[in-house]
A and B are shown apart, each in its own frame.
Chain A
Amino acid sequence: MKFKVNNEEVFASTGGRPFDKNKPLIIFVHGSGLTHMTWVLQTRYFAFHGYSVLALDLPGHGLSGGKSLKSIEEMADWVSDVIDAVGYKEASLVGHSQGCLVTIECTSRYPNKIKTLSLMGGAGAIPMNPELLALAENNDPKAVDLMMDWAHGPAGHFGGHPVPGLYHINTGGMLAKSRTIKDTLGVDFRACDNYKNGFEAAKNIKIPTLSILATDDKMCPVKEGRKLADLIEGSKVDIIDNCGHMMLLEEADRVLKVLKNFITKNFPAN
């Protein structure tokens, strides 16, 4: 669906169901340079099981208008504005990679609005490889190829996706190329590189939090994810074997199972 935040049009997938304000709201925040479509194998389940779902396209990404936001802090405020714009007082947040930084910061800033936090491939800081950052800022498609290479584990490089016929490395790459690379991936990578408040923000989080990590994640390794999780009181950690950073595509079913158990327990549908 489309709605306005700060006078700019925002697109969010509702998981294939009409948006219903009477149901608890789960907001999904994508990673660098990507779009709402990375969440399709998680959002539809929740949309059909008692929740209202918004898988956002960040400003300047996917089908949303405006320009990409330049800092994680701006993105965090924007997610809070989204909750207001759709007429809710609270929501559960789910983030992937950069989306983890955004949702951590948002939860720290707006503790009364956020009821549960689910982090996938998250870390307290995501300093960027300078060469990758330069490629993205120079609009070089090689940046996407490298990101897809590093973001998939050894098993994921072979394919074998549960969705018949879907070759997920190329699908992820196509999402990252859906808009001008320097204006999405380049801006996002710079925002991640600049963000230094993740560990401090994590200390402020007092809500049920889940970290889903993957053994073959080269971009946000398990030890970095654990370091973050250790700062969040009562945080749960679930580690997926034989999987890389793009876990929500690479091991979509296993991610959904863990996420489903966590959210339905801590943020039950009506």
Chain B
Amino acid sequence: MSDKTKKGTDAKTYKFDTLSLHAGYQPHKNAGSRQVPIYQTTSYLFDDVDHAAALFNLERGGHIYSRISNPTVGVLEERVASLEGGTAALATSSGMSAIFLAVMTLCQSGDHLVVSSQLYGGTVNLFRLTLPKFGIKCTFVKPRDTEGFKKAIQKNTKGIFGELVGNPGNEIMNMPEIAKIAHDAGIPLMVDATYQTPYLCKPFEHGADIVIHSLTKWMAGHGSSMAGILVEGGNFDWMQNDKFPTMTKPYEGYHGLSFAEEFGPTAFTMKARAEGMRDFGPCLSPQNAWNVLQGIETLSVRMKKHCSNAEEMVKYLLGHESVAWVSHPSVPDHPDHELAKKLLPNGRGSMIAFGIKGGKDAGVAFINAVKLASHLANVGDTRTLVIHPASGTHSQMDEATLKFAGLSHDMIRLSVGIEDIDDIKNDFEVGFRAARKPRLVSNQ
């Protein structure tokens, strides 16, 4: 090793903010284009027959058809993998398709998953109603019931899944402990970290094996494009037991390839792409990948503002006469306040759940009255968003399921944007005034 390497013992690999702008892309390989080009194309020329065969057989890297991979999408995938500290990533058309693809890469008919009960309503329905149609059953456990995850593991359990911070109640999974439970059972932990982004938390550093994002949310920020991604940590040993034959045994679809043996720390992503994208095809459009890349360029700047605004809103709501309760990990009496300090050192996120005095009617009045805050079924936009989950995102749940998911009729979900904080508060005052009116009428 030459003297040129003797320059101190701190690695000079690029840091988060630099990776947000540059990772996954080399301009000199793309006609010198400083911005990532949009490869709005479906297919790619082969040099010759041998080249074509080598690509189809995973002997070498490259693009064949944009359902499987695309150069613009590839930049996004590498960028997110770099930010998460992962080995590889695979972008999909939405966060839901990323979850579905992760499950279908991991499981087959007859398998079982242990799943946190505090999830986005669509995800609950995937695990509760849709996956059983494929022969994959799930046991739901409340996210704070760490021992419950252990008890729910069966012989055919292939993984644990959860949202790091539950939707919409802000319950936090004890990720390090649940990861240990998973690893002791020889199964991976899959974490949906959409709410956090890698700026607030890097789940691989706390034991997660697969990280999933809806890129539609904070990662993109602009609310213009649907996108999802699964990222692989590269540390899970698929060959440690016989639970994952589709990862470890020869796969007929690729001339007897064993993904784990050949691709090791990127095996899961390789299988998800080679099999899942080939057979299911939930590919991300190059335009949407490019749109998301524009958002990621400012991720850390935006997340700081999201978090500082959220903390201001928490203080405001805690002191408000119309608010019954506030749930946010920054609140000292939040049950996961200490855990949040450990897992979310750069900020506790910008999702707040609060209860409005007056219950459902007051909630409806509040939502209808606010003008700056947008009433819609999304989170993580740069603009402030509100919704009443019991009548919106989780409206397909029955009463018992709503209760199990930790939802109440007075709950309002607030995704704090990056507008001027005074303007958000003023808008909420309008909402609260409207919410008080029906109660006054009914009290008379």
Contacts and interface: CB of A to CB of B under 8 A. Distances in A.
Interface of A: 13, 15-18, 35, 37, 40-41, 44-45, 48, 63, 126-129, 131-132, 135, 142, 145-146, 148-150, 155, 157-167, 169-171, 174-175, 177-178, 218-221, 224, 242, 252-253, 256
B88 A158 contact: no
A169 B262 CA distance: 18
B267 to A, nearest CB: 9
Interface stretch (B71-79, B124-132, B375-383): B71-79
B69 interface: yes
Contacts of B13: 145, 148-149, 157, 169
Nearest to B8: A131
A159 B4 contact: no
B33 interface: no
Nearest to B51: A253
B23 A161 contact: no
Nearest to A1: B261
Contacts of B210: none
B4 A221 contact: yes
B85 interface: yes
Nearest to A144: B11
Smallest CB-CB A-B distances: 6 pairs? A162-B61, A163-B61, A164-B69, A165-B77, A174-B234, A145-B11
Contact of B61 (A158, A164, A221): A164
Given A146-B11, A174-B234, A175-B264, A16 B256 contact: yes
Interface string B75-92: 101110110011111110
Given A149-B13, A165-B90, A166-B266, 17 more contacts: A16-B58, A17-B256, A44-B57, A132-B1, A159-B26, A160-B26, A160-B29, A161-B78, A165-B69, A166-B61, A171-B234, A171-B265, A174-B233, A174-B234, A220-B2, A252-B61, A253-B62
Centre residue among A17, A37, A160 by max chain B CB count within 10 A? A160
Contacts of A165: 69, 74, 77-78, 81, 88-91, 269, 273
Centre residue among A63, A148, A157 by max chain B CB count within 10 A? A157
A180 B265 CA distance: 16
A174 B204 CA distance: 12
B63 interface: yes
5 contacts: A16-B255, A150-B1, A161-B61, A171-B234, A174-B87
Contact of A146 (B9, B53, B233): B9
A41 B60 contact: yes
Contact of A13 (B86, B254, B261): B261
A269 B88 CA distance: 34
A97 to B, nearest CB: 10
Contacts of A41: 59-61
A18 B86 contact: no
B1 A162 contact: no
Given A165-B77, A170-B86, A218-B2, A40 B61 contact: no
A95 B234 CA distance: 24
Contacts of A157: 13-14
Nearest to B261: A13
A239 B9 CA distance: 28
A82 to B, nearest CB: 18
Contact of B59 (A44, A146, A164, A220): A44
B387 to A, nearest CB: 33
A37 B263 contact: yes
B235 interface: yes
A170 B82 contact: yes
B176 interface: no
A167 B11 contact: no
Contacts of B79: 159
B26 A155 contact: yes
A181 B90 CA distance: 29
A126 B57 CA distance: 36
B342 interface: no
Contacts of B9: 131-132, 135, 142, 146
B338 to A, nearest CB: 26
Contacts of B74: 164-165
Nearest to B233: A174
Interface string B170-183: 00000000000000
A167 B23 contact: yes
B155 interface: no
A167 B82 contact: yes
A149 B79 CA distance: 17
Given A158-B22, A160-B26, A165-B74, A171 B88 contact: yes
A132 B262 CA distance: 29
A242 B26 CA distance: 11
B5 interface: yes
Nearest to B58: A44
Interface string B257-287: 1100111111001000100000000000000
Contact of A252 (B58, B60, B273): B60
Centre residue among A16, A17, A127, A252 by max chain B CB count within 10 A? A16
B161 interface: no
B239 interface: yes
A253 B61 contact: yes
B255 to A, nearest CB: 7
A78 to B, nearest CB: 21
A40 B262 contact: yes
A177 B257 CA distance: 24
B151 interface: no
Contacts of B91: 165
Contacts of A128: 1
Contact of B1 (A63, A158, A219): A219
B5 A160 contact: no
Contacts of A160: 24-26, 29, 75, 78
Contacts of B75: 160
A133 B160 CA distance: 39
Contact of B25 (A45, A159, A253): A159
Contact of A218 (B4, B73, B265, B269): B4
A18 B255 CA distance: 10
Interface in B4-51: 4-6, 8-14, 22-26, 28-29
Contacts of B4: 218, 221
B54 interface: yes
Nearest to A16: B257
B225 to A, nearest CB: 18
